[in-house]
Amino acid sequence: MTLQQKIDVFSIMRPDLERVDQRVASAAELDFPVASAIVGEIVRAGGKRLRPLVLLLAGRAYEYSLNALVTAAAGVELLHTASLIHDDTVDRAAIRRGKPTLNSVMSSGGVILVGDYLFAQSAMLAAATNSPRVVGVFASTLGDICDGQLHEMFDGHRLDQTRDQYERRIYGKTASLFAGSTEMGAIIAKAPEEHIATLRQYGSHLGMAFQIVDDVLDLTEGTQDLGKPAGNDLLQGTVTLPTMIYASQLDETSPEMQRLKDVVEGENVGPELMDDIVTSIRRSGAIEESIASASSYVAKAKSAAEVVPDPETREMLFDVAEFALRRLK
Amino acid sequence: MTLQQKIDVFSIMRPDLERVDQRVASAAELDFPVASAIVGEIVRAGGKRLRPLVLLLAGRAYEYSLNALVTAAAGVELLHTASLIHDDTVDRAAIRRGKPTLNSVMSSGGVILVGDYLFAQSAMLAAATNSPRVVGVFASTLGDICDGQLHEMFDGHRLDQTRDQYERRIYGKTASLFAGSTEMGAIIAKAPEEHIATLRQYGSHLGMAFQIVDDVLDLTEGTQDLGKPAGNDLLQGTVTLPTMIYASQLDETSPEMQRLKDVVEGENVGPELMDDIVTSIRRSGAIEESIASASSYVAKAKSAAEVVPDPETREMLFDVAEFALRRLK
């Protein structure tokens, strides 16, 4: 058995992702120095570019024009950034990606407009692909994202929500953009219809896994790692999968259930009680059960990636899927 | 001389506009009863549907598919509605079109998301025209609107702004969507390139006239007529054309200039002093000069409408242009 070099998708794709970054940076420029500097920082701080990455990968095995893929990938990343900016305002978050959010230094009106401006830029990039089908996917993805965020806002605090409701919510909020990204990449590269549909599934499963892992990390890690306080979702009144699973184990009339309800309903329970709740969730087995659910989505994503004819691209799609779980260490 | 029946664009176009309204109403439906009811009310309260109207008119003289025109027109109206909803949050306005705004009954986070959702729906309608060119116009128009709103926020309070800066601002905020509407209508109806460009100009001039008249009405009318307090722009710190003209007549060190600066900088000067300032602006000739500027845009719009071959459509475009000034009574 020879020692096989593990494929590293992030190094292989770096040159293409750098082209995406350049497009994103120039589209995100604003006439207003202060706002432009902050938006530039948000864009530059922006993690691993997972959505552009899967868009590029989904197109890579077919007849692709790199320029069209890069344009759409920049559009997708900007849509994501615009959506984060508005979402931070909704959550009143002060930190994102370890940096101050735009709404920590600007009026909420300004943040709304800057977010809208970036939406407009992202829509222009989608339109620049000159494909009505890509634009259609782009627009309906934006609709799905808003639907997910609205459901999070209106129903996300319910402790008695069903697994289906949770999944619909995170599909909209996160998985829809991954699904849209791989679908757009495959459409641009003229993949066969069946491959387009299967690559969309890949993106969807991957996005579900990422969001579940995010929801787990929110409870298992502290400020340094995520740039947010631990248990932040719960403090915002958002019930995620681990909390739902934990709540399902509690007696409706127990004191544990009562204090959980208090937190979710926005009562200030103080940091000690909050720590207690987070510790109880961690000890309940809910984290492990959630990770199992994420793993099952990763397995489905990998199975969908089998459709891709080119072995190197397929391996890279596997690697991205595994990366979702690697973040758990 | 025979008594000629004056053409009434609003009655002639009512059936088509009703189709637009139906598309808008169904696209604006939300899963959430409270939000859906308020959005429905905002959409139904929505004035004269001027943007859909000019889009339909711009296509009417050529080879048009009514269905495609209605789709794009609904997209334009929803884009306008989404933009108003976000703008009301920026201005913290409590009343719009005589009804409570969404942000007077909902958290600003909710308003942002509802606005985003309507943007998404409007983009889906644009995409449904299946024309990359229409989508391109749509996306760049959204960019122009945001640019105008950002300039209003960052520079709109300057008393020493130039006429060019004011015009760029109102072009973005208002005229760009009128220009985009007529351009989209002409593109969908396969008008000759030269007609597309000229009809875009029609929309742009018309939009400039409408915004200047709005800025005048803000100073000359009270709550009942506009659903807003008189001098509302000034109270928000926004300097419009009549105020700019009035300020240009004042000595930099005069007490009148000082109190104007106070208002614009957000100091609460009280209703009596505010009334005084509004009265001074009205008496300065600035209103008449602003109306002259609006009239000149109306004349340019009418001259652009001459390009349209069909006499009835041309007359209706004239009528819409004159309507901009009729609002002044």
What would you measure as the largest C-alpha separation in chain B, in angstroms? 61
pLDDT of residue B44: 80
Is A1 part of any domain? no
pLDDT of residue A2: 41
Given A30, A126, A143, which is nearest B124 (Cβ)? A143
Is B1 part of any domain? no
Query: DSSP letters along A164-216, please?
Result: HHHHHHHIIIIIHHHHHHHHHHHHHTT--HHHHHHHHHHHHHHHHHHHHHHHH
Chain A, nearest residue to B146 by Cα = A117
Neighbouring-strand partners of residue B96: B99
Instruction: Render pLDDT for A116-151 as a digit per residue (tens, 0 to 9).
Output: 999 999 999 999 999 989 999 999 999 999 989 888
Q: What is the ipTM of this complex?
A: 0.85
Tokens 């293409």, located at residue: A16
Tokens 């207003």, located at residue: A32
Is B77 part of any domain? yes
Neighbouring-strand partners of residue A133: none
Phi and psi angles of residue B313, each rounded to the nearest 5 degrees, phi first: -60, -40
Given B32, B90, B147, which is nearest A154 (Cβ)? B32
The answer to whether A286 contacts chain B (CB < 8 Å) is no
The answer to whether B45 contacts chain A (CB < 8 Å) is no
pLDDT of residue A1: 37
Is B187 part of any domain? yes
pLDDT of residue A88: 75
Chain B residues with CB-CB distance to A108 below 8 A = 89, 108
Nearest to B60 by CA among B174, B199, B208: B199
Contacts of A1 (CB under 8 A, 6+ apart): none
Question: How far A121 CA sits from the closest chain B CA (Å)?
Answer: 6
Q: What gap in Å lies between CA A54 and CA B111, rounded to an integer?
A: 32
Chain B, nearest residue to A28 by Cα = B143
What are the CA-CA distances from residue A278 to residues A231, A270, B40, B277 (Å)? 7, 12, 41, 58
Would the pLDDT of A111 be above 90?
no
3-state SS assignment for residue A328: coil
Question: How close are the terminal C-alpha atoms of chain B, in Å?
Answer: 27
pLDDT of residue B113: 87
Asked if A142 and B116 come within 8 Å (Cβ–Cβ), the reply is: yes
Asked if B127 and A136 come within 8 Å (Cβ–Cβ), the reply is: yes
Asked if A113 and B121 come within 8 Å (Cβ–Cβ), the reply is: no
**Enclosing domain of residue B314:** 9-326
pLDDT of residue A110: 80
Average pLDDT over every residue of A171-187: 97
Q: Quick one: pLDDT band at residue A46, thresholds 50, 70, 90?
A: low
The answer to whether A109 contacts chain B (CB < 8 Å) is yes
Domains contained in chain B, number: 1
Is B4 part of any domain? no
Is A3 part of any domain? no
The answer to whether A130 contacts chain B (CB < 8 Å) is yes
Question: How far A239 CA sits from the closest chain B CA (Å)?
Answer: 18
Lowest mean pLDDT among A89-93, A155-159, B135-139: A89-93
Q: Which parts of chain B have pLDDT scores under 70?
A: 1-5, 46, 90-105, 222-229
Locate A212 and state its tokens.
């579940």
Q: What gap in Å lies between CA B93 and CA B218, rounded to an integer?
A: 14
Is B3 part of any domain? no
Query: DSSP letters along A257-283, please?
Result: HHHHHHHHTT---HHHHHHHHHHHHHH
Is A96 part of any domain? yes
Q: What gap in Å lies between CA B223 and CA B225, rounded to an integer?
A: 6
Asked if A114 and B150 come within 8 Å (Cβ–Cβ), the reply is: yes
**Mutate: best of B121, B153, B177, partner A, most A CBs <10 A:** B153
Locate B195 and state its tokens.
């007609």
Indicate which CATH number applies to the domain containing B218: 1.10.600.10
∠ Cα B103 B104 B110 (to 5°): 30
The answer to whether A22 contacts chain B (CB < 8 Å) is no
pLDDT of residue A198: 98
Chain A, nearest residue to B116 by Cα = A146
Four-point Cα dihedral A192, A194, A200, A205, nearest 10: -140
Average pLDDT over every residue of A173-199: 98
What are the CA-CA distances from residue B199 to residues A71, B308, B310 (Å)? 30, 8, 13
Q: What gap in Å lies between CA B170 and CA B181, rounded to an integer?
A: 16
Asked if B115 and A112 come within 8 Å (Cβ–Cβ), the reply is: yes
Chain A, nearest residue to B140 by Cα = A124
Would the pLDDT of A223 be above 60?
no
The answer to whether B124 contacts chain A (CB < 8 Å) is yes
Given A115, A130, A143, which is nearest B117 (Cβ)? A143
